[in-house]
Chains A and B, each alone.
Chain A
Amino acid sequence: MIDNPKTGMSLIVKTITRLTVGLILLFGIYIVLHGHLSPGGGFAGGVIIALSLVHLILAFGRDAKVSKISMNLASNLESLGALMFLSVALLGFLGGSFFLNVFKKGAPFKLFSSGTIPFSNIAISLKVGVGLFAIFLALIILEGTKRKK
């Protein structure tokens, strides 16, 4: 992988980023999925997932392919996350009441337990993660257009 010295940060930062950004993403997904067993859940996990993508852009500058994700895709994914959360809440109507926990609740302290809570965690983490990344993209696009002038 060629290191372009004109964009992004120094070589040391780029090397460390290549080694750790996948682990950060994996850690974020772990916090989301274990939201019903340990502290964390949708919000905190979503923020960590967004931060791993932001880390890529900060370290590699214009070369990072992630910065080519357009605002359209980010905004669509965000609305999709919100609609997923609303549909998980509407599933409770099948059981008789809004937001009821309708899936099977397995044995306590296992990963596949407590009904619909992991699904709401995943929906919230999608929305929060993509939302934060979209805010970051909007701010750097503004900076980019100003610099061109």
Chain B
Amino acid sequence: MKNPIFITYFVIIPLFAAFSIALIGKYVRRLYVDIASSVFCFLLLFFSFYSVAVLRNSANPAMVYNVGGWIPPFGICMVLDGLSSFMLVTVNLVAFFICIYSLSYMEKYTDKPKFFTLFFLMLAGMNGLIVTGDLFNLFVFLEIASIASYALVAFGTEAEELEASFKYAIMGSVASSFIFIGIAFLYGFTSTLNMADMARILSTKANIWVMPFVAVLFLMGFGLKAALVPFHAWLPDAHPSAPASISAMLSGVLIKTLGVYAMIRIFFNILGITDIYLSALMFLGGLSLITAVILALSQWDLKRLLAYHSISQIGYIFLGIGLGTPLGILGGLFHLFNHSVFKSLLFLNSGAIDYAINTRDLREMSGLKQKMPVTANTNLIASMSIAGIPPFNGFFSKLIIILACIQKGFLGYAVIAVIGSLLTLSSFMKVQKYAFLGELKEKYRHIKEVPLAMRLSMTGLAIICIFGGLMLLSDVKFFLDSAVNVLLEGRNYAQAVLEAALR
């Protein structure tokens, strides 16, 4: 395609939605705000599927849109290649279901139009970060998404939410300042900000002290956004305190876009990976896996337990990607998609339980299966996915990661992955026993199932969990393969983008 205009729609539509809902939200009826936000989310989902179809049918591996008509490196460009379209589908699919869920969940909080303003701002920041081709533009969108998420964590303004939001905001800002210093060093070293141009210049310069220094700065900055283990301390406080749809959004897509996607884009395509970076990523991934799952064994707060498991599954993703082989990266990216789906479903379930009985403590609940069948069944499906039981989608991605570890000879990491999986299974059997099975307590006789919108979105995500394993069939596998190829070709990304920009 000569000028792929639809790439700009991913940034324009959420920004327009955010500010128009802020303007008219107080003056129209509640129904119109609901319909408007669902329509905007559905438009974004449609365009993300369209981008995958367009990319498959075109001959070139990347499509570039020059903003304002300026050719890079003089102007900012928006790049759509295999990895970007994969991340766009993940983010917009999960965001669509969460938007439908919050139509009835946010009735319990005040001021729904302001919630949707912040939600669409966060979505605009994430979408913009995925499609951009310029390093400082990445930093600006990262800050937009982060500031919106700091405000969303404190949305209910109870005492615990404010404390958690303050801690998250301070740590996130320090991490952003490390990323900014890294970008400053790279600009001083190569005198350009365009990612493709920088990759081309860096492959011609000799290897001096700047590149490992910048790599460590980015590892610290993006590692805090992705919640790897030495930098994870904000996540167990921030994710339980947020409203349930925001917890699902944070844990399901935000830590993956701002943390995992930005780090692998910079490490694989711009700086150029060597064995030492890969072994650092694998070590941090393995450490997160085992530490977080042990810390989760003693939790009695349902959402705090889910938050610790998020850290552990991010460890799986980094273990897969850090292997560097095609099978390993395939496993890591597939696990990224699967984890977005089933972790969002688990948080939406905990929100449904919270909506019905107003508590998150596992010792207070029991026997909810009789009164809330949809919640109980979708929770069973999601728990079996995260523990890795066939035929749900979590099983396939974990199997690929463990096989790739054995294939490359890292038997120690494979054993750690299997132990982590067993401990995850035990944690979720505990959740099932305490929350859903057993006798129904006296004070819960009158609770009902949650409203229709929440049930619809939970069922939709559960269906994707069941049929997720079919993504490995050879017809559909191009979706993952195009993403894997972008990472494997490393710095040749620059050539594909610069050629496409001049066309």
Contact = CB atoms under 8 A, between A and B. Distances in A.
Contacts of B347: none
Given A79-B23, A83-B23, A101 B16 contact: no
B66 interface: yes
Contact of B19 (A83, A90, A95, A99): A83
Given A76-B23, A79-B23, A83-B20, A96 B69 contact: yes
B68 interface: yes
A98 to B, nearest CB: 5
A97 B23 contact: no
A101 B68 contact: yes
Interface string A76-103: 1001101100100110110111111100
Interface residues of B, number: 16
B353 to A, nearest CB: 34
B406 interface: no
Interface string B58-86: 00000001111100000000000000000
B472 interface: no
Contacts of A92: 68
A146 B19 CA distance: 31
Given A86-B12, A86-B15, A97 B68 contact: yes
Contacts, number: 41
Interface in A97-139: 97-101
Nearest to A77: B23
B66 A97 contact: yes
Interface centre among A75, A80, A99, A100, by most chain B C-beta atoms within 10 angstroms, is A99
B12 A97 contact: no
A82 B26 contact: no
A93 B69 CA distance: 11
Contact of A86 (B5, B16, B67, B68): B16
A89 B68 CA distance: 9
A93 B15 CA distance: 17
Contact of A80 (B12, B23, B67, B69): B23
A72 interface: yes
Contact of B8 (A72, A82, A96, A98): A98
Interface string B347-386: 0000000000000000000000000000000000000000
Contacts of A96: 3, 69
A97 B3 contact: yes
A79 B19 contact: yes
Contacts of A95: 69
A92 B8 CA distance: 12
28 contacts: A72-B26, A76-B23, A79-B20, A79-B22, A80-B23, A82-B19, A83-B19, A86-B12, A86-B15, A86-B16, A89-B12, A92-B68, A95-B69, A96-B69, A97-B3, A97-B66, A97-B67, A97-B68, A98-B5, A98-B8, A98-B12, A98-B65, A98-B67, A98-B68, A99-B67, A100-B68, A100-B69, A101-B68
Interface of A: 72, 75-76, 79-80, 82-83, 86, 89-90, 92-93, 95-101
Interface of B: 3, 5, 8, 12, 15-16, 19-20, 22-23, 26, 65-69
Given A93-B5, A98-B67, A99-B68, 17 more contacts: A75-B22, A79-B19, A80-B23, A82-B15, A82-B19, A83-B23, A86-B15, A86-B19, A89-B12, A95-B69, A96-B3, A97-B3, A97-B66, A98-B68, A99-B67, A100-B69, A101-B68
